[in-house]
Structure 1
């Protein structure tokens, strides 16, 4: 057999193994509310090629080989256990098994590693939690996609309604079409139909009521069978407690804002300070996309090296807040054509750091430049550290954080020397460390952090909503603290 034939045979074998994993992953998700991950990347509803690519990428960033032939035995071991709702990371199972010197069989090791999710220890399934989207723009539609994707067995988050202002002419059909097709994020994964008679969009079996209103105080959500729902305001129209309290109507239990909150509204970055949310807190903010991008790596650096001061410069894709062509705008520069110019503008991300990391004493400044790309931004984080270090030490630290720490869903790590912004469209991480661009000299470190300011941020919002709803299930093996 030639080398070419041998390579092809190996690929076909791995394809067959990945194909056999799909029904197992699907059944665990539907019947037991178990989400199978690979180094924090979900394998639920993924294709054969996607599963293989995820394995390949994982072994690239881990620096060690990881194949479906290694992870399949752990997946089989999971099916034999009395698992409760949880997230099980096959990549972490394989990595910890390698470092374990006891020589246990895979089945025994797996049972021990996920013991907190089995038998008498397992978390009981919770009732589904209603979710309402107030607004249906770029972020709103991506949140809808994620919520529909995560419906799973029906015991998680359920998107029940969307509240929008009624527009003239086939409003419902056009909104459904925008959900179905996205110029940046591609086609909706599933089926969408429109029930105009009842003002509903049905997406993958989820009946979503479309409520027309321009005033949140006029909506009675209980009239639609909605109870104790989490309302996600993605309009940015109200940002303080007084304004957001208008949403606390019959049927609504909590309000989550997809913009920086003002006044005493808590600004939450999942993975960093989500555990500070008080159980009785009804109004919270998920801060901004840039805050979510810089705070997790800033925390990772501060915890390891200390941070004395820093500056963040964001090179940000243009948004709907800017004009397509030169026209009047309340802002001095945002009125100039977004697709034709680089536009210097302000960012509140640096000042928002203190809300998410109140113990960080370092002064962080920031500025931003909007550039003519429709999605994916980069934050350049320039830090003076508390001690001198080396480039390799920093990279090793951040790679470990991205793989094994509690921040592994927030921080990703890439070594590809030819990576560009479009490569990160659809990334679910809050930020991605570009290893090749990282610069370290003595106590000065400069990190280049990519982030999908739409999809990555939306993923962070959903994590916060899962947390406050009580359907954010624990991950096993537990990440290193």
Structure 2
């Protein structure tokens, strides 16, 4: 048998193993509300090839490919446990098992590692929490996709309604079509049907009421059976507490803004300051996509090296706020054609850092250039550190942060030498550190941070909503602190 034959046989064997993992992952998700992860990447509803590619990706982080033959026994062990709602990372289970010298079986080690999610310790699933989307634009539709995807056993977040202004004939059909097909993010994973008579979109069995209103005061959500809901405002029309409070209508308990909040509205970056949210806080913001991209790495660098000052330059994809062709715009330069120009503009991300990291004393400045790409941006974070270091030390540290720290859902890491912006469409992390572009000299470090300013940010929004709703399930094994 040739080397080529051996390689192909090995591939077919791994395909067969990955195929056997799919029903186990699906059953854990549907019946027990358990999300199976591999190095922070969900394996729920993934294809055979996607599961294999996710295992191969571990090579970029941990230095070697993770085999499905290694992770399957941990997945099988999970199915025999009395698990409650949780997120379980079988990649981390395999990695920590390698370094454990107690001679435990896979079954015993797994049971010990996830003990907090089993038996008397497990969280009991509730009735779920209603969610309403106010607005249905780029972020609104991606958040809707994520909510539908995460419906799981039905005990988590439930997208109950979408509020939009009426758009004329076949409005709901056209909105459903935009949810079904996306030029950047591809086809919706599932089925979507529309009942125009009842103004309802059915997405993977989830009934989503489309409510037409020009103003929050026009809606009584209890009339639709909605109660104690979290409303996600993705219009950006209201940014301060007074304006956002207009949403606190019958049936609405909390309001989450998908833009930087003004005044005393808390700006939350999940993974960094979400634990500061007061239980009785009804109005909060998820800050901006760029703030979410730079704050987690900035926190990581501050924790290890100290940061004296910094500047962030974002090279940002164009947005709906800009014009396709030259036309009037209230802001300087943004009236010029977005797909034809690089446009120098401002970013509020640098000033927003103070809200998310109040203990950071360093002055952070920032500016932005909008460029003719439809999605994925890059932030160049130039930092003066409190001590000298080396490029190798910084990369080793950030690789470890992305793999094992509490920020591993926010920070990703790539060593791909040919990586370009399109490669990060669909990333669920707030930012991805480009190892090849990183520069360190003495006390100066320059980090290049890719981020899907649409999808990655939407994932951060969902994490905040899960946290305030009480359905942010614990992750096992617990990340290193």
**In structure 2, distance between residues paired with 1:168 and 1:101:** 67
Query: Which residue matches 1:417?
Result: 417
Check the 8 A contact 2:60/2:416 in 1, yes or no.
no
Query: Which residue matches 1:155?
Result: 155
- For residue 312 of structure 1, report the CA deviation from its aligned partner: 0.1
Gaps of 5+ in 2: none
Deviations 1:17-43 (A, max 9, x none): 000000000000010010000000000
- For residue 65 of structure 1, report the CA deviation from its aligned partner: 3.4
Query: Which residue matches 1:240?
Result: 240
Query: Which residue matches 1:432?
Result: 432
Query: Which residue matches 1:364?
Result: 364
Query: Which residue matches 2:337?
Result: 337
- For residue 146 of structure 1, report the CA deviation from its aligned partner: 0.3
Query: Which residue matches 2:171?
Result: 171
Q: Normalising to structure 2: TM-score of the pair?
A: 1.00
Are 2:39 and 1:39 aligned?
yes
- For residue 136 of structure 1, report the CA deviation from its aligned partner: 0.2
Check the 8 A contact 2:427/2:452 in 1, yes or no.
yes
Deviations 1:23-80 (A, max 9, x none): 0000000100100000000000000000000000012211133100000000011111
- For residue 240 of structure 1, report the CA deviation from its aligned partner: 0.2
Q: Secondary structure at the match of 1:339?
A: coil
**In structure 1, distance between residues paired with 2:148 and 2:217:** 27
**In structure 1, distance between residues paired with 2:189 and 2:420:** 25
Query: Which residue matches 1:295?
Result: 295
Q: Secondary structure at the match of 1:160?
A: strand
Are 2:311 and 1:311 aligned?
yes
**In structure 2, distance between residues paired with 1:11 and 1:64:** 17
Q: Secondary structure at the match of 2:193?
A: strand
Deviations 1:146-191 (A, max 9, x none): 0000000000100000000001221111000000000000000000
Query: Which residue matches 2:134?
Result: 134
Q: Secondary structure at the match of 1:13?
A: helix
- For residue 332 of structure 1, report the CA deviation from its aligned partner: 1.3
1:341-352 correspondence runs (5 A): 341-352=341-352
Q: Secondary structure at the match of 2:339?
A: helix
**In structure 2, distance between residues paired with 1:81 and 1:179:** 37
1:73-222 correspondence runs (5 A): 73-222=73-222
**In structure 2, distance between residues paired with 1:434 and 1:271:** 20
Q: Normalising to structure 1: TM-score of the pair?
A: 1.00
- For residue 443 of structure 1, report the CA deviation from its aligned partner: 0.4
- For residue 237 of structure 1, report the CA deviation from its aligned partner: 0.1
1:238-277 correspondence runs (5 A): 238-277=238-277
Query: Which residue matches 1:375?
Result: 375
1:393-472 correspondence runs (5 A): 393-472=393-472
**In structure 2, distance between residues paired with 1:31 and 1:408:** 27
- For residue 218 of structure 1, report the CA deviation from its aligned partner: 1.4
Q: Secondary structure at the match of 1:340?
A: coil
**In structure 1, distance between residues paired with 2:65 and 2:254:** 45
| Deviation >4 Å, runs of 4+ | none
**In structure 1, distance between residues paired with 2:3 and 2:64:** 23
**In structure 2, distance between residues paired with 1:405 and 1:61:** 13
Deviations 1:315-345 (A, max 9, x none): 0000000000000110110000000000000
Q: Secondary structure at the match of 1:209?
A: strand
**In structure 2, distance between residues paired with 1:17 and 1:229:** 41
**In structure 2, distance between residues paired with 1:201 and 1:29:** 24
**In structure 1, distance between residues paired with 2:450 and 2:186:** 20
Query: Which residue matches 1:12?
Result: 12
**In structure 1, distance between residues paired with 2:75 and 2:155:** 22
- For residue 427 of structure 1, report the CA deviation from its aligned partner: 0.3
Check the 8 A contact 2:131/2:159 in 1, yes or no.
yes
Gaps of 5+ in 1: none
- For residue 358 of structure 1, report the CA deviation from its aligned partner: 0.2
